Amino acid sequence: MVVDVKTSKGGYKVIIENNILSRLQEEVKEISGTGKMFVVTDSNVAGIYGKKIKEALNCDCYVLPYGEHTKSHKYLMELYDQFLKAGLTRDDTVVAFGGGVIGDLTGFACATYLRGIKYVGVPTTLLSQVDSSVGGKVAVNLPHGKNLVGNFYPPSKVIIDPEVLSTLPKRVFSDGMAEVIKYGAIKEKDLFMSLFEDNIDIGKVIKKCVEIKRDIVENDEFDTGERMILNFGHTYGHAVECYYNYDKYTHGEGVATGMLYITEISERMGITKEGTCQLIKKLCEKYNLYFPEATVPEKEAKEIIKKDKKATTDGINYIVLEELGKAIIKKEIL
């Protein structure tokens, strides 16, 4: 399955195929040509795939610590140093082999090193496969909040192998399902309702999510209009992550909490169709994403949200649902 994504800089292919890692070198060579390849991954992924990656690509592989704290200025500087030591030039290609943290950090490093070098995304978590690997947003965090330093810099190719999901811990898989639920909630009610079924076809789910994001991103590449709806649940969700120092709740757990938080409020205000919050709650419960205790005191939440990247001079853009499959942008409803 191939999804083509158009951008202002050309475009790239998202290839979704079981066991595509068996021909990883061939896929990356289409981008790297005669240039060097360099892999960035994390300690968890390296423990499972490190040897296989090195043998397949026959290149340098730099392993970063696992976790959200790695998406920081400290490790960005480390990556620049490693790129320089490896002698990477604009003819070379970096492979971001890992989850959303590795993709965001490596993508930002590639966007800014030598004013831009090529990179290929090989997302290994469900969250990164359905969301962060597509759309060209790259970033690092600041102590004040997530993704406050970033850029729009699309990959040259994205390679998705659904089979790698079999190695994920249950919590990490559930983390990704929060973004899948989000896609159904904002744009595709049929997708949302299908998630109540057992034994979903995860390859088809990934493709549907990628297609939804592709359509939105092509209409609003630089996040000034419709693309904002992809942030459903993220404003309060990021506050949850930040307040608990990025180590108690995962990104997906924060997003799930944020979707329920904003929908409960918008439903109470009469913006959202009655019963929507209950359906989201049931789906979150099904995928172990219901955390009623994940609250942030109002004062602290407002301080964190004020620094959110979605803030404008006249307030915060909140994403709310009119009903399942239909999201809208509202100002300052909290």
Residue in 20, 32, 76 with CA at minimum distance from that of residue 58: 32
pLDDT score of 270: 95
- The model's pLDDT over 152-188, given as tens digits with 9 standing for 90+, comes to 999 999 999 999 999 999 999 999 999 999 999 999 9
Q: Where are the domains of the chain?
A: 2-167, 178-331
Of residues 157 and 332, more confidence is placed in: 157
CATH of domain 2-167: 3.40.50.1970
Residue in 51, 184, 188, 68 with CA at minimum distance from that of residue 125: 68
Report yes or no: 147 and 139 within 8 Å, Cβ to Cβ: yes
DSSP track, 253-299: HHHHHHHHHHHHHHHHTTSS-TTHHHHHHHHHHHTT---TT----HH
pLDDT score of 311: 62
Report yes or no: 127 and 175 within 8 Å, Cβ to Cβ: yes
What 8-state DSSP symbol labels residue 99? S
pLDDT score of 154: 96
pLDDT score of 85: 97
d(CA 123, CA 46): 13
- The model's pLDDT over 25-74, given as tens digits with 9 standing for 90+, comes to 999 999 999 999 999 999 999 999 988 888 889 898 999 999 999 999 99
pLDDT average, residue stretch 214-241: 93
Q: In this model, does residue 231 exceed pLDDT 80?
A: yes
What 8-state DSSP symbol labels residue 58? -
71-85, 89-103, 132-146: lowest mean pLDDT where?
132-146
pLDDT score of 333: 62
- The model's pLDDT over 282-329, given as tens digits with 9 standing for 90+, comes to 999 999 999 999 999 998 998 888 877 666 656 788 999 999 999 999
d(CA 153, CA 5): 13
- The model's pLDDT over 237-268, given as tens digits with 9 standing for 90+, comes to 999 999 998 889 999 999 999 999 999 999 99
d(CA 105, CA 79): 9
As its CATH architecture, domain 178-331 has Up-down Bundle (1.20)
- The model's pLDDT over 112-124, given as tens digits with 9 standing for 90+, comes to 999 999 999 999 9
Q: How remote is the C-alpha of 113 from its chain's centroid? A: 22
Residue in 222, 192, 186, 123 with CA at minimum distance from that of residue 318: 186
